[in-house]
Structure 1
Amino acid sequence: MVNFFAALVTLLSTLVSSLSAAPDDGRYNKEVPYGNALSSPIKAAPNGYEPIFIENLGRHGSRTLTSSAGEARARKIWNAAKKQNALTQVGETFDEDLTAFQKAEQKIGYGNMSQLGKAEWAGIGRRTADNYGDYLKKATADGDSVAYKVTTFQRTEESADAMIGSLKKVVPDLKLSERFVDLRLLIIRGSTIEANHAVNQILASNAVVDAAKGLLRELYTPTYVDSIEDPVDAALDIYKVYATAPGMQGDTNVTFEKYVALKYAKVLAYATDAQLFYGFGPGIAGQDFSYRQAKPILADFFTELDKRIKGGSTAAVFRPAHGETIMPFAALLRLPGSEKQAAKGDVYTYENNPWRGSVAGRLAGNVEWVAYRNAAKDVLVTMRYNEQQVKFRKGCKAVEPYFYQVAELKRCLR
């Protein structure tokens, strides 16, 4: 089994290194692939402190579309255009490319991880082993275990499997607890009348409608585009396939780049980000509907940490989940970029707010806490966001830069 894991990790690492990185300029919003850095440095703990616990919440890796519904709608519009002789020269090949893309998706299964997605989580596991390998080896020798909490979706199981493969390459005897399906990791959209109004206002704006029609005119004649009942929804169906394709590059060479000009992609990325901002992000000032469902996850972070401090045998807890999980968690913690809500009566824009789905909800994005303890039994916690060292939110007082007492975090985060 160890040899199998080692071979899998080598294969996945080779795959990621051979693929070109997707540009992270916002064009793909939360579907931008995570990448596979060679290393991710961690902040050295204060003198005398050693790691005693690791916990992480992350989004699954790159995947296929979660369903074929949007593709079916796009094909229906394309078929009608073909019958009316309303296709452009560019649009002629759309159905062929969509069919090829769907063939790759169907081989994997809708909603399941692509080769790149598995490689992304294998990379997270490799860097985790690089940074904390000595701790995990010692914990394993002491009889401690590593726990995985997942959801009911296969892509979270696949993320866990890929990460475990990398960890086992460094710690072959790694002891795993029985995997636990945690329904708290499944979060539905927070919704208010104000939030829905803001989203509708953005989707109906001239900028979004013009971008949608501009995209559609790449495929269809202007007269036909004018006949489409909801051009924004029609364009978003194509945009979502386009945004998913970079995460599928290990399974198919179809990209949809020729159908979606960058100038239109960025506007539709904004429209998508607006929906996510109000449904799963910081939301409207004075309201917490968009992120309060993440509070049980924060409570679980503290519960698992307390268990370990009191002598528990779980050395690490990893929670591969979803974009809809990590975005509200980031907003709840007010992580970098997720600190600012939209003012009442105003709408979220890229100009007035730093929140981006490509940061807060990106594929394989994650939040990591690591606890350290010294000989006097004092415990300090530090945090990384997408494997970058970050401070806890304003109002949390650090003992040393980036290191906080548990009691202080309970005070300032709850």
Structure 2
Amino acid sequence: MSPPLPLSSMLLALACCTSSALAFDGYYQTKTPYAPQQDPATYAAPPAGFQPIFTQLVARHGARGLTGMKGDAALYAMWQQAAAQDALTPLGRELGPDILALMQANALLGHGVAGIDKPGYGNLTQTGIEEHRQLAVRLLARLPTLFAQVEQDAATAPRQLVTIHSGVDRARDSARFFTQSLLEYAPALAPLLTLPPAPAPYPQGRTPAVQPILQVDGVNRFLLYAHKLAPQTDFVADRANPYSATYAASQAYQHYIRTKRLDTLMTPPARQPAAAAHARQVLERLFTPAFLAQFNGGATSYADTGSYTFTSADGKLTRSMTGNGKTVIRSVNAAAMKLYELYAIAAGMRHEVKADFSRYMPADNARYYASVADHEDFYKKGPSTTDSGGVTWRFAVALREDFFREVDALAAGDLRHAAKLRFTHAEMIIPLASAMGLQQALPPETSYSHADSPWRGQSVSPLAANMQWDVYRNDTGQLIVRLLYNEKETPFKPACDAARIAPGSVFYDYAGLKACYGHVAAR
């Protein structure tokens, strides 16, 4: 075995990795595979006299498979019926085997991959693993003096690299592959990696009493899974508890996403003539018009009710699965949208599935369905409307405050943490962008549209989306901060412009930045 690569020599070894990114041509919305949004060579140098002392990030998990056998099985059932009726076009006949190949890849996803504990739907793909490995590589390459100093001080004044995640497999595994990559290039950091205890005990104060569920070290659902906090696992009775507001905001959000008001905001695209036109354009390339006409009147539907058995190429894993019938296709619009979802997820599964789903989803139609998904996500996960009271993002305020608390500790002279690494989901990255003031709500009388709004899922939260704060200090103790959003130098909210250390600078005086965002309570 060759000796570990010295950190001082790392930049040469990483040169090939930091300057290139895979190009993905298509319209995949939040399923867009990750690419850094700025060439690191163009990053601004910190002002003279400032040295990096800390960095922190929150990152979405990497590219994954489908989360369950749902729309794929329903669409395959539709294809089977069309095949039985001889209602397929030549291109349509190729769709069924490709859907089945995608289903098999998802059912076996992660088999034989070191670090994936349970193969199946929802796991990271090879693209997703590599996204986080390279994200770690670029972090090291961006701040070599910070990590060299951390290594140098490891024996005498050790600092921690704190790692937390949501507890969901794909977020936990993203954390694992990220930190493994760090240690490949900087093995001396290994003793400094720290998984803090999960917040406990929760649920608390339930009546009748419920036995608290203890999460494993490194899990923090209140920061990284706050969109789905549940009474069975996360109930907070004491209003003085620092997570009480987060729990309440999570419950308010989960109520909101079931309301008629949200449905009214989200559904306009489906009611427009363009919806039916695009569905016909997509599906009539695959199915005969007579077959599609069977949807008229609601007499025909297709559900994920089939049973399937898949075996890996090496014969070591066989999985049998049966659909639960809860995903139902009742219209041509729904069928086309399900096909778009397969097209989008396949973009991050190119190592596992050779099928080219862009054959079934022409670019103009893919662009349309991405715009529909953006419309829905803007109101369901994004900034929504100015009269919504921030219901779509207030549960992410605790995550925002956690960033400030880390820098507060530095300002108070507590240097125990050299980095904080957090791994989560799109449902937290998107609200965090709103909580940070990086995305703006619309007046209730103005409907979201691609033509009038720059908000795009592919840029707000692609797979492996991330926000990073690099913190620098000078000899007088002044702290300055730079925000990278998807590795692009990004301004904080416009109201904080006065905190820039100079007009147009990407570096912000921390004291001014904190004052701009308001008081951040200590915990």
- The Cα shift of 1:4 comes to 10
Find the residue that maps to 1:395 and give its secondary structure.
helix
Q: Which residue of 1 aligns with 2:174?
A: 159
Distance 1:100 1:4 in 2: 41
1:16–1:116 CA contact under 8 A, matched in 2: no
Distance 1:58 1:2, change over 3 A: farther
Candidates 509, 512, 515, aligned match of 1:411: 515
Find the residue that maps to 1:180 and give its secondary structure.
coil
- The Cα shift of 1:231 comes to 2.2
Q: How does 1:91-240 map to 2 (within 5 A)?
A: 91-108=92-109, 109-140=120-151, 141=153, 142-174=157-189, 175-178=192-195, 180-183=218-221, 184-186=223-225, 187-188=227-228, 191=257, 193-228=260-295, 229-240=330-341
Distance 2:44 2:18 in 1: 26
Q: Which residue of 2 aligns with 1:76?
A: 77
Find the residue that maps to 1:399 and give its secondary structure.
coil
- The Cα shift of 1:15 comes to 11
Distance 1:247 1:393 in 2: 32
Q: Which residue of 1 aligns with 2:346?
A: 245
Find the residue that maps to 1:181 and give its secondary structure.
coil
2:69–2:121 CA contact under 8 A, matched in 1: yes
1:39–1:127 CA contact under 8 A, matched in 2: no
What do residues 359-380 of structure 1 show as CA deviations (whole Å, max 9, x unaligned)? Answer: 0010111111111111111111
Distance 2:507 2:176 in 1: 31
- The Cα shift of 1:17 comes to 11
What do residues 225-265 of structure 1 show as CA deviations (whole Å, max 9, x unaligned)? Answer: 23233222221111111001111112221121111111111
Q: Which residue of 1 aligns with 2:410?
A: 308
Bigger CA radius of gyration: 2
* Alignment-mate amino acid for residue 235 of structure 1: A
Distance 2:404 2:375 in 1: 31
1:120–1:364 CA contact under 8 A, matched in 2: yes
What do residues 289-314 of structure 1 show as CA deviations (whole Å, max 9, x unaligned)? Answer: 22222111101111222223331411
CA root-mean-square deviation: 2.7
- The Cα shift of 1:205 comes to 1.7
Q: If the length of structure 2 is used for normalisation, what is the TM-score?
A: 0.72
Q: Which residue of 2 aligns with 1:402?
A: 506
Verify: 1:262 aligned to 2:363, yes or no. yes
Verify: 1:22 aligned to 2:24, yes or no. yes
What do residues 128-166 of structure 1 show as CA deviations (whole Å, max 9, x unaligned)? Answer: 010112202212323111111111211112211222233
Distance 2:424 2:410 in 1: 22
Q: Which residue of 1 aligns with 2:395?
A: 293
Distance 1:36 1:284 in 2: 29
What do residues 17-36 of structure 1 show as CA deviations (whole Å, max 9, x unaligned)? Answer: 9996211x5x1111111137
* Alignment-mate amino acid for residue 79 of structure 1: Q
Q: Structure 1: 5+ residue runs without aligned partners?
A: 7-11
Distance 1:120 1:38, change over 3 A: farther
Distance 1:4 1:77 in 2: 54
Q: Which residue of 1 aligns with 2:378?
A: 277
What do residues 273-296 of structure 1 show as CA deviations (whole Å, max 9, x unaligned)? Answer: 111111111111232122222111
Candidates 313, 325, 341, aligned match of 2:428: 325
- The Cα shift of 1:220 comes to 1.1
Matched residue pairs, number? Answer: 404
Distance 1:225 1:20, change over 3 A: farther
Q: Structure 2: 5+ residue runs without aligned partners?
A: 7-13, 110-119, 196-216, 229-252, 296-329, 519-523
2:17–2:134 CA contact under 8 A, matched in 1: no
Distance 1:3 1:342, change over 3 A: farther
* Alignment-mate amino acid for residue 387 of structure 2: G
Distance 1:244 1:101, change over 3 A: same
Distance 2:515 2:184 in 1: 39
Distance 1:88 1:402, change over 3 A: same
* Alignment-mate amino acid for residue 271 of structure 2: A
Distance 1:282 1:168, change over 3 A: same
Q: Kindly, what percent of the aligned residue pairs are identical?
A: 28
Q: Which residue of 2 aligns with 1:60?
A: 61
Greater share of helix = 1
Distance 1:216 1:168 in 2: 49
Verify: 1:364 aligned to 2:471, yes or no. no
What do residues 99-156 of structure 1 show as CA deviations (whole Å, max 9, x unaligned)? Answer: 1122222221211111111111111111101011220221232311111111121111
Find the residue that maps to 2:347 and give its secondary structure.
helix
Find the residue that maps to 1:220 and give its secondary structure.
coil
- The Cα shift of 1:59 comes to 1.0
Distance 2:163 2:510 in 1: 23
- The Cα shift of 1:346 comes to 2.7
Find the residue that maps to 1:120 and give its secondary structure.
helix
